[in-house]
Structure 1
Amino acid sequence: MVIQTGLAGTHATGKSLLADRIEMELRSTGISVQRTGGLAKRAAALGFPKMNRHTATSTEWIITAGAAIVLEAELDADVVLIDRTAHDALAYYTAALALRGEHPEPDDLTRLQTLASLHTHRLHVLLATVLDPDAPFTAPPGKTPPTPTPSSGHWSTSTCTSTWPTPTSNTGRSPGPATARPSPPPWPP
């Protein structure tokens, strides 16, 4: 069994830092990890609109391309870290529509919600990062500030302890028993 872990949240909320930390911890125990991501850049390179110009078509491409990448990653991993779930794409789409003062076509929204649900039903763990409105925030270069734009914000940390299911190794190595680990110290380190 491959463990799918989804990381959700807007840009600049610490998803990459969280993924780096999870990957480092898992690899240190001999568990093979694959990471997915970069779909927005690939979509833009292909000519699909993104961010505040998201369309139903660009969102559908991101969701379905993400599903294919996860399936490929599962071929050689015990754990797949999914940087941006299908629900992120759906959230960016609905936020873009709201920013433009538009409403989704009901059929488009139903189709995209169904695709997002089908794509994420196999997640074992879903972690979401959120903006902290009390921390200073500047959108990264080339990024649209999150909507609604907070007067300030940065990533918010939360602590949790979870028991990871024992993956069935695709790599022929035994990853060892599942263990409950204490929460890591708050980020940034």
Structure 2
Amino acid sequence: MKLSDIEEKNLKKGQPENVEEKATFDILDVLAEEGISIQDLTDTALEMYVPHPGLETREKADTLFKRELKYALSDPNLCLLIYSGILLEREGRAGNLPNLSKKAYEKDLTFIIADEVLGTSIANYISGSKGTFEYIRYDKKKPGILAKLGPFMDDVIGGLIGGVSSNMYSRGMAEFERKD
């Protein structure tokens, strides 16, 4: 989409009509630096897989989850939300979060809810209330890689998986119904 496709009144003064410059790095590369792969995300999502019409097998779910993940991660706003969690995690490990000690960060104290707000926001951004519901399921169980991640990243990745898996189920059912 070109910026010129947006109504003129929505452009900021001096904003260009086209952005020709390509991004310098991809969120998948940043996640890989944190030890999180597409396969980790998919495996974690499928630990809580439930067969549905259109997703009768794990193989179908695997394929559709990866497709939905690729689509979701094409959105720069989502990538920036994920990146903010990555930066919070990095700063927490270094003991550099404002008004929060390194020990409080490491213990993931219950009065710190910014991580849950971020996870909920990501899930909701991807697929609304259904995504938020899925995020809560993943946040409670902490399957797969979620159990190994830090206080911010378990919620960020849980929100991502929850939102994407919600879309996977919805799209799988919709495609199944169109075949009938």
**TM-score bin (small chain):** under 0.3
Relative to total residues, which structure has the larger helix share, 1 or 2? 2
Task: State the TM-score, normalized to the length of structure 2.
Answer: 0.23
Which of the pair is proportionally richer in strand? Answer: 1
Task: Output the TM-score relative to the length of structure 1.
Answer: 0.22
